[in-house]
Amino acid sequence: MAFTRYLTGLFICFLILVPPSLAQQTEAVRVFLDCNRCDRSYIRQEVSFVDYVRDKEDADVHMLITRQTTGSGGTEFTLRFIGRSEFSGQDNTLIYVSPNSDTQDEERIGLVRYIKIGLIPYVSETSAIDNLDIIYDDKDVLQTSVEENKWNNWVFELGGNAFFNGEESRNSLFLSGGVSADRVTEDWKINLGYDYDYNRRAFTDEDSLGNKITDVFITRGQRFDGRLVKSISNHWSAGIFTEAFSSSRNNIDLSLQASPALEYNIFPYREYAQREISFLFLVSSSYFDYDELTIFNERSEFLIKPQIRSRMDFTQPWGEIEGRLNLSAFMHDFSKNRVDLRLEFDFRVFRGLDLSIDGRYSLINDQLSIPKGDISDAEQLLNLRQQLTSYSFGGSIGIEYSFGSIYNNVVNPRF
């Protein structure tokens, strides 16, 4: 109780000591910036001819920005300018593409340039237009030609990572690397990739005689996957998935897989930045060679597994909804099946109140590679081997309520 009174008194003193701001005397367009993975401070600093508000109900323009990875590894931003209040019905959409070679600073500079362009129709109806100018710089204009596209839309990437940490009684090292090749056009999509990972963990202890004993645990994995997709229409596409896989944790010495697939999207593919409900049908033919005898007394086997993968994405002014549902079963025994469900909700309940919910649940009856025999304490605690389970779940819930000044213009980077 005393602590509560102390906090209340401190808050009142803070309100008294903080100097009041001058009332906003401006005709600036009020903008609600709706972008989950943008540098908001940079945008507010560079686009200063509008007023930013923290609630869309106070906005003249709802600026909704979504992003998607391009075939060349860059980022495509879809900027939707949704008119509200006196601008109701005045909507516009711009597309900005940042190539993979851009630094983070170059990416945000380009995004800000498109934000300024998109806001001009709204700002032009206010007195702020008197302080704006338009500059055209043509020195960097490129004339695209067949000769300049010498790579024929192919993009290649090489990468690797190393993570390590330790102390007197333990240390760990994780190494990973990969290579990929991608080619994406309006008609075809080709993705090829190879990844390798190595995980070493060591633990040091002393026996009863004071001698140091070190236990070392190592897991390895590698994967090659390929995907070939053909665009058929605005709603249909077809393709094939291939995969070669090896994992000491999953008791798989070698797995080879090929899966023809067909996808249907309820909405046209071009509307992906706003909404998508799609269904992917595929049949996987797989060969497995196991490191150890499995709980079903198999050292190798050939399996056929039909799958249905459904995806739902909505990004609208009221919030976002994402959903994933995967269904699969083995043809030789339909009781060996799996159901994966994941849902994410992030939306405005009412003025100032935001709610986010994330949940996932899986029914798991298809762990055919589990090795026969008991699992050791170390393997269980360190997750060195896949463990038998019939389900898994997880989730989170968050709520946020804000109130006070409607404006959100000032950027103060101190501390």
* 173 & 251 share domain: yes
- pLDDT over threshold 90, residue 238: yes
Q: Which residues of 265-285 are buried (b: 16+ CB within 10 A; e: fewer)?
A: bebeeeebbbbbebebebebe
- pLDDT over threshold 60, residue 11: no
Q: Is residue 115 part of a domain?
A: yes
Spatial separation of the C-alpha atoms in residues 332 and 352, rounded to whole Å: 54
- pLDDT over threshold 60, residue 254: yes
Q: Is residue 15 part of a domain?
A: no
Structure tokens at 162: 């190393």
Q: Which of 353, 361, 360, 305 is nearest to 333 (CA)?
A: 305
Query: Where a domain ends, among 131, 166, 186?
Result: 131
Sign of dihedral through CA atoms 264, 265, 266, 268? negative
* 197 & 330 share domain: yes
Q: Is residue 35 part of a domain?
A: yes
* 173 & 61 share domain: no
- pLDDT over threshold 60, residue 415: yes
Q: Is residue 232 part of a domain?
A: yes
Query: Where a domain ends, among 131, 166, 185?
Result: 131
The predicted pLDDT at position 74 comes to 81
Q: Report, as an integer, the average pLDDT of 222-248.
A: 95
Query: Percentage of residues in the chain with pLDDT exceeding 70?
Result: 90
* 120 & 207 share domain: no
DSSP 149: -
The strand ranges marked E within 123-251 are 154-167, 170-184, 188-206, 212-231, 236-247
Q: Which of 278, 366, 369 is nearest to 328 (CA)?
A: 366
* 196 & 305 share domain: yes
* 196 & 256 share domain: yes
Mean confidence (pLDDT) of the chain: 86
* 234 & 358 share domain: yes
Spatial separation of the C-alpha atoms in residues 13 and 1, rounded to whole Å: 19
Q: Is residue 185 part of a domain?
A: yes
* 244 & 317 share domain: yes
* 127 & 184 share domain: no
Range of the domain at 50: 27-131
Task: Flag the least confident range among 72-76, 78-82, 224-228.
Answer: 72-76
For 115, phi then psi, to 5°, come to: -60, -45
Residue 116 CB partners (closer than 8 Å, separation 6+): 47
Q: Is residue 205 part of a domain?
A: yes
Tell me the pairing of strands 75-83 and 92-98: antiparallel
Query: Where a domain ends, among 76, 99, 131?
Result: 131
The predicted pLDDT at position 411 comes to 66
- pLDDT over threshold 50, residue 21: no
Query: Percentage of residues in the chain with pLDDT exceeding 90?
Result: 48
Structure tokens at 236: 């249909």
* 165 & 304 share domain: yes
The predicted pLDDT at position 273 comes to 77
* 230 & 364 share domain: yes
pLDDT digits (tens, 9 = 90+) for 334-372: 999 999 999 999 888 887 788 999 999 999 999 999 888
Q: Is residue 143 part of a domain?
A: no
Per the listing, tokens 């202890």 go with 205
* 369 & 275 share domain: yes
End-to-end CA distance of the chain: 32
Highest-scoring range by mean pLDDT, 7-11, 149-153, 155-159, 177-181: 177-181
DSSP 294: B
- The pLDDT confidence band at residue 145, using thresholds 50, 70 and 90, is very low
Q: Are 312 and 339 in contact (CB under 8 A)?
A: no
Q: Report, as an integer, the average pLDDT of 117-141.
A: 78
The predicted pLDDT at position 25 comes to 41
Q: Is residue 411 part of a domain?
A: no
Spatial separation of the C-alpha atoms in residues 230 and 199, rounded to whole Å: 37
CATH number at residue 94: 3.30.160
- The pLDDT confidence band at residue 146, using thresholds 50, 70 and 90, is very low
- The pLDDT confidence band at residue 184, using thresholds 50, 70 and 90, is confident
- What's the structural domain count of the chain? 2
Torsion of CA 362, 337, 300, 293, to 10 degrees: 60
- The pLDDT confidence band at residue 138, using thresholds 50, 70 and 90, is low
* Exposed/middle/buried for residue 290 (C-beta within 10 Å: 0-12, 13-18, 19+): buried
CATH number at residue 177: 2.40.160
